[in-house]
Amino acid sequence: MEVFYLKRKIIIILASILLVTSKIYGKESELRYSFTDDEIYLMGQLLSGDKSIDGDGEYDIDYENEDNIEQIYLVLNVVMNRVMSNDWPNTVEEVITQKGQFEVMPQNLDTEVSDITLKIVTEWCQLYDNWNESAKVIPESHMFFSGDNFKNWSRKTWK
C-alpha cells in the first residue's frame, strides 16, 4: 500500500513540474497573434500598395530602392504594437483601417499586392507569431512612425 502512495506522490510531483515548466516556457509553443491570410494581405496593402504603382505604400517594397528589411519590419511593428496595446483597436484590420492613422489608407484597400510583398510580410508574421526576436525592431511602446518611402522613424507619441 505504501508503494502505491509513493508512486502516486511521484506522479503528482512530476505532473506539477510539467505544469510549472509549461507555464514558464509555454509562450514558445503558443502563437503570439495568429495572423489570417486576409490580415497578411492587408499589411501588404499598407506597406506597398499596388504592385503596378511605385511609391503608394508606407514603405514601398516595389519602389526604386533595395528592400531594407529593418524598415519594412518597423512599419509592421507599429501595427502590432498598436494591436497589442490597450489604447488602440485589437485587430490588424481595425488598426490599419482606423480613420486618419495611415496616409495610404483607405485608398490602398483596393490594390493588388505583389508576390514579393506577400512573401516578406508572411515571413515577418511567422517570425512574430513564433516569438522570434528578430521580428521586433522597435520598442513595444512605439506606436507611430513617419518616413519618406526610403527611411522610417518610429516614436512613442505622434509629435
> Is there a single domain that holds both residue 3 and residue 58?
no
Quote the crossing angle between the two packed helices 69-84 and 37-48, to the nearest 10°.
Answer: 130
Nearest C-alpha neighbor of 104 from the set 138, 63, 156: 63
> Is there a single domain that holds both residue 45 and residue 107?
yes
pLDDT in tens, 81-112: 999 999 999 999 999 999 999 888 888 888 88
> Is there a single domain that holds both residue 47 and residue 18?
no
Write the CB contacts of 16 (distance below 8 Å, at least 6 apart in sequence): none
Domain, as residue range, for 48? 32-155
CA 103, CA 48: separation in Å to the nearest integer? Answer: 12
CA angle at 85 for the pair 80 and 88, rounded to the nearest 5°: 90
How much is the pLDDT for 17? 58
How much is the pLDDT for 18? 47
What is the pTM assigned to this prediction? 0.75
> What is the domain count for the chain?
2
